[in-house]
Structure 1
Amino acid sequence: MNKHAIKFAPMTLAMMCANASAAVTLYDDDTHSVTTDLLVNVFYTNSSSDRLSDFNDPNSNKISRDQSRVRIGFLPNYIGFNFKTEVNDLKIGARSSFWVTLNDTDNNRGAEGLGTRSGIDVRQFYATIESDWGQVLLGKDFGLFSRSNILTDELLLGHGQSSDYYGLIDGGNVSFGNIGSGYTYPFPKAQMTYRTPDLSGFQIAVGVMDPSKKSANSSEDSPRFESEITYTGEFDTVDFKAYINGVTQSSKDSNGTVDSDGLGGGVRVGFGGLALNASGFSTTGLGDVAGLDTIVSTEKTKSDGYLLQGSYTFDSERFVLSYGNTEVDTDGTKTLEYENKAVAWFHTVNSNLTLVAEYNRTEVNEGNTEKNNTYALGAVVTF
């Protein structure tokens, strides 16, 4: 895997996407309930990549590679368990979820007697306390910054981009979807988050979260703070959602202090079978793929990205067009431009089964660093 490659943990937002309401009841009485939900997806993919042999040297040789794989898509496969009870005026809840990959890189398969090395990853383990005053979440869950950007992605149940620049062609985990080409990933974090009740369509969330470190010996005098304001409403036949989210933190070591800040937002409008989705973000001192969780930058590093999408649904069919772009500047000089164009067809067989056909065209630095074409055919099963 090249030096830009990231061992990316399985994407773990499935329970909040389409079919999120699907669940199987394990236990239910007047005071307690336990349910479980599950997602399995698998894709046949064929990718064709033309890229520099050395991503850091624009004068290096070009190499081409075609690769066929059977792999998971943007979302991993997971099983989750949900707990609910009510004591006096308090609603107590909890969720634990466990995520697995289906595929392994050729280099890892069976290596050192470790079998297929399909990792089991816990991305959520939290409790909630809720009443008329709102909800408090305690534990591990996804961050608030970029949360709605990724949840409103029309390709959330699809495959997404898999360029060699981030080591994704042979990656043993998920593809990136539009991470790095339109938004950053809201990594799960230890947190204490308060959400207001619904305020005529508005909801405010504020979280105190475990900070990320600039280096192994860095110090963080304050936690990371993340927040999000969302508005959802229906106007006759029009569905509308708008949101704005942000993050701030500081990390200091012997080489200095990095103050990291980010702002994101977006709008999604649906009417009839048509949906239009636009989101964007701007950050300083943050990574362009995983935000604070891969701090290697300084305050002079700035990232900006946006995602534009349109979809049309009729009967059992949904068609999606998508364009995402992220640019990274350091000292006022553009050091990276990463874009992904995609078209996808989703066919709903029933409430538990969706078939997917998708094409992604990824270009790094306007195609001078890499051009990648990925075709994917797959199925998504939910319970």
Structure 2
Amino acid sequence: MKTHANCLLPLGLAVMCANATAAVTLYEDDTHSVSTDLLVNVFYTNSSVDRLADFNDANSGTVSRDQSRVRVGFLPNYIGFNYNTETDDGLKIGARSSFWVTLNDTDTQRGAEGLGTRSGIDVRQFYATVDAEWGQVLLGKDFGLFSRSNILTDELLLGHGQTSDFYGLIDGGNVSFGNIGSGYTYPFPKAQITYRSPDMSGVQIAVGVMDPNKKSATSSEDNPRFESEITYNNTFDSVDFKAYINGVTQSSEDSAGKTDSNGVGGGIRVGYAGAAFNASGFNTEGLGDVAGLDTLISNEQTESEGYLLQGSYSIDAERFVLSYGKTEVETQGTTSLEYENYAVAWFHTVNANLSLVGEYNRTEVNEGRTEENNTFAVGAVVTF
């Protein structure tokens, strides 16, 4: 499962998060504008882990170790560029490109990741948009729609998250996982053509045709991958309310047979007078429990389901979060993986560009083997 830490290099959704950063304008006239935005975060972490020495032999004993790191959190560092113009025919044309990097890549002893200061630039977004009265069409590479709002409403999005050895995250040269794998899956960036409706009294519908995920190197996908999401946002007597439902479907076939991959997710977030409650969940068949990549799961008898429950309270410059997430994977009716993460976090807003974070995560994994991981993290997040 340590390959997950590589296939998600690096993770990131900062530019779309609920507390989005204010961009810096580089150029602006009557019809054109160019702006840039940036995020830098770094944490000191200490992970204490107990796990079976040989994951394939429950009688082989237990390994305990502590590991200190200086690393990025759930989100990598990124810089993005935004372009907007309005044409004579009333269309609004936009574009975004964003480039993501990690920090903790200098230790040449980190196994296959030991490549020195590689800081590989990863393009997660490179798309254009066309807006009009009838809605918006997005053309290019962006995050998927399935599980999109699940992850964007995570109260710990700008925090650190869990670093389980099960996914190779303690020593990984990349990001942590947040609550990926312990409550939701990752909406992996894909080439897509996506339509979003206008806001209809708080309701917005998005439907995307996307480049399919390969089941194997020789698999055949006769049709593209389809993802969709319906969101509802409104305020009732000072109560902020958000609800959403999203889904995915795809078929893939190779010499081992045909796999129909389907998933549904959803959730709600309610906020009032500084307090907020967030709940989300998902259920999939024939998809991975981490990134929804069909290459990780090769049959329809594999089912994944998970949920995330969170509460937060904000007062003045302080925000406090309690979080619990769980994912279960079943193969042929037998539970083969249980993955849980408990978290508590404190966020302190110094000013509009700087926040301080303190966080504790306890991760428990059971997959015919056992891991208990306690991770403490303190760090800072800088945005422009």
Q: Normalised by the size of structure 2, how large is the TM-score?
A: 0.96
Partner residue of 1:354?
A: 355
| Conservation of the 8 A alpha-carbon contact between 2:110 and 2:172 | no
- For 1:216, the equivalent position in structure 2 comes to 217
Structure 1 vs Structure 2 CA RMSD: 1.9
For 1:379 and 1:51, the matched residues in 2 are separated by 30
Q: 1:49-75 CA distances to partner (integer Å, 9 max, x unpaired)?
A: 001123233333211110000000000
Which residue of 1 is the match for residue 331 of structure 2? Answer: 330
Q: Give distance in 1, aligned partners of 2:321 and 2:240.
A: 18
Query: Once the two structures are superposed, what CA deviation does each residue of 1:280-308 show, in whole Å capped at 9, x if it has no partner?
Result: 00000000001025433310000000000
Deviation of 1:373 (Å): 0.2
Matched, 1:364 2:362: no
Residue aligned with 1:186, SS = coil
Which residue in 1 is equivalent to 2:148?
Answer: 147
TM-fit CA distance, 1:326: 0.1
1:246-287 CA distance string (max 9 Å, x none):
000000001100000000000000000100000000000000
**Sequence identity percentage:** 80
1:285–1:295: 8 Å Cα contact kept in structure 2?
no
CA deviations on 1:356-375 (whole Å, 9 max, x unpaired) are 00000000029951000000
**CA distance 1:192–1:353, shift in 2 (3 Å):** same
CA 1:18–1:204: 2 relative to 1, 3 Å: closer
Native 8 Å contact 1:268 1:275 kept in 2: yes
1:134 lines up with 2:149 in the alignment = no
Aligned to 1:65: 65
When residues 20 and 5 of structure 1 are mapped into structure 2, their CA distance, relative to the original with a 3 A threshold, is closer
Task: Please give the alpha-carbon distance, in whole angstroms, between the structure 2 residues aligned to 1:91 and 1:112.
Answer: 43
Cα distance change, pair 339–81 in 1 and its aligned pair in 2 (3 A): same
Moved more, 369-378 or 12-21: 12-21
Q: How many residues align?
A: 383
Query: Structure 1 residues 368-377 or 141-150, which shifts more?
Result: 368-377
Write the distance in 2 (CA, Å) between the matches of 1:125 and 1:380: 24
Contact 1:78 1:99 in 2 (8 A): yes
Whole-angstrom CA distance in 1 between matches of 2:275 and 2:180: 24
1:29/1:347 CA distance change after superposition, 3 Å: same
Query: AA paired with 1:143?
Result: G
| 1:274 counterpart = 2:262 | no
- Tell me how far apart the structure 1 counterparts of residues 76 and 136 of structure 2 sit (CA, whole Å): 28
Q: CA distance change for structure 1 residues 352 and 225 in 2, over 3 Å: closer, same or farther? A: same
Matched letter for residue 148 of structure 1: S
Distance between the aligned counterparts of 2:107 and 2:116, measured in 1? 12
Please report how far the alpha carbon of residue 216 of structure 1 lies from its aligned counterpart in structure 2 after TM superposition. Answer: 0.2
SS at match of 1:145: coil
Which residue is equivalent to 1:342?
Answer: 343
CA distance in 2, matches of 1:192, 1:345: 39
Per the alignment, residue 35 of structure 2 pairs with 35
Of 365-374 and 287-296, more deviation after overlay is shown by: 365-374
SS of 1:150 mapped into structure 2: helix
Q: CA contact under 8 A between 1:6 and 1:166: conserved in structure 2?
A: no
- Partner-residue secondary structure (3-state), 1:173: coil
In the TM superposition, 1:276-315 aligns within 5 A as 276-292=277-293, 294-315=295-316
Q: Which residue in 1 is equivalent to 2:193?
A: 192
- The CA distance in 2 between the partners of 1:369 and 1:223, in whole Å, is 38
Q: CA contact under 8 A between 2:41 and 2:381: conserved in structure 1?
A: yes
Q: 1:267 to 1:206 in 2, by over 3 A?
A: same
Which ranges of structure 2 fall in alignment gaps of 5 or more residues?
none
For the 8 Å contact 2:337–2:367, the answer to whether it is kept is no
Residue-by-residue CA offset, 1:80-139 (whole Å, 9 max, x unaligned): 000000012100000000111011263367999964111111100000000000000000
- For 2:220, give the aligned amino acid: S
Structure 2 SS opposite 1:58:
strand
In structure 2, what is the equivalent of residue 160 of structure 1? 161
Contact map agreement 1:53 1:62 (CA 8 A) in 2: yes
Distance 1:211 1:337, change over 3 A: same
Shift of 1:19: 4.0
Structure 1 residue 230, shift from structure 2 partner:
0.2
Give the Cα–Cα distance (whole angstroms) in 1 for the partners of residues 10 and 195 of structure 2: 26
Distance 2:114 2:183 in 1: 39
Deviation at 1:9, TM superposition (A): 1.5
Aligned partner of 1:16 in structure 2 is: 16
* 2:139 counterpart SS class: strand
Kindly provide the amino acid, as one letter, of the partner of residue 333 in structure 1: T
State the partner residue of 2:77: 77
2:323–2:342 contact (8 Å) kept in structure 1: yes
Query: 3-state DSSP class of the match of 1:53?
Result: strand
CA contact under 8 A between 2:227 and 2:249: conserved in structure 1?
yes
Cα pair 1:19 1:351 within 8 Å, conserved? no
Amino acid at match of 1:295: L
Q: C-alpha separation between the residues in 2 aligned to 1:51 and 1:219?
A: 39
Q: Which moved more, 1:265-274 or 1:103-112?
A: 103-112
Deviation sequence 1:312-369 (CA, Å, 0-9, x none) = 0000000000000000000000000000000000000001000000000000029951
Q: Is the 8 A contact 1:206 1:227 kept in 2?
A: yes
Structure 1, gaps ≥5 residues long: none
